[in-house]
Chain A
Amino acid sequence: GAVVSQHPSRVICKSGTSVKIECRSLDFQATTMFWYRQFPKQSLMLMATSNEGSKATYEQGVEKDKFLINHASLTLSTLTVTSAHPEDSSFYICSAPRTGRENIQYFGAGTRLSVL
């Protein structure tokens, strides 16, 4: 079964609204989680590293004020796309390394965001 749960699986919203995506680790704690974005027929692009109890670390070129990350607990990280615009439409995926196997990532099922 899934060890990382991501919700919602699909979001359709109007331009200018904010969208929150949740990523939960199931039956294990994750002090670190990762957020990726994937455009059609392209590879995953790492956006940021979510750290429990501290600020997220963003990859170069990713706007931290646009993509707000909160690691509220050891099992939950959220990504909020603020004031979404059509160019933010993409497939967003989170991952977490399982405790004791930090070099293996377990991925959520992804969230398809469509901004109208």
Chain B
Amino acid sequence: LAKTTQPISMDSYEGQEVNITCSHNNIATNDYITWYQQFPSQGPRFIIQGYKTKVTNEVASLFIPADRKSSTLSLPRVSLSDTAVYYCLVTEGNTGKLIFGQGTTLQVKP
């Protein structure tokens, strides 16, 4: 499974756009890029998944360059409730097995 690297922590203010970049240099052809959000004492929650280019849903956008060696999670206009740990994972197409890295702790300030 490809290893991911992302910043340990980020600070932001309410209403700002937050971009969290993740590198996954060894991503394989069949791998997808998936982001999860975790609040304290809760299980992770699926945010978004992509394979290439750009994916957008109701909560976030995911930008993936052509070489797929990195990806950027974009959270538009964050609020205090977006304070959480965000995990970037590379998932195999068939097994579903996930290996979590350290994640990025996002602190949104008023």
Show the binding face of A for B, using Cβ within 8 Å.
Answer: 4, 6, 32, 34, 36, 43-46, 49, 91, 93-95, 97, 102-110, 112
Contact = CB atoms under 8 A, between A and B. Distances in A.
A32 B96 contact: yes
A103 B95 CA distance: 7
B103 A43 contact: yes
Contacts of B45: 107
A4 to B, nearest CB: 8
B41 interface: yes
A105 B98 contact: yes
15 contacts: A4-B43, A34-B98, A43-B87, A43-B101, A95-B98, A97-B96, A102-B94, A102-B95, A103-B94, A104-B34, A107-B36, A107-B43, A107-B44, A109-B42, A110-B43
- The B interface, classified by DSSP as helix, strand, loop or mixed, is loop
B99 interface: yes
Nearest to A40: B40
Contacts of B82: none
A104 B43 contact: no
Contacts of B98: 34, 46, 95, 105
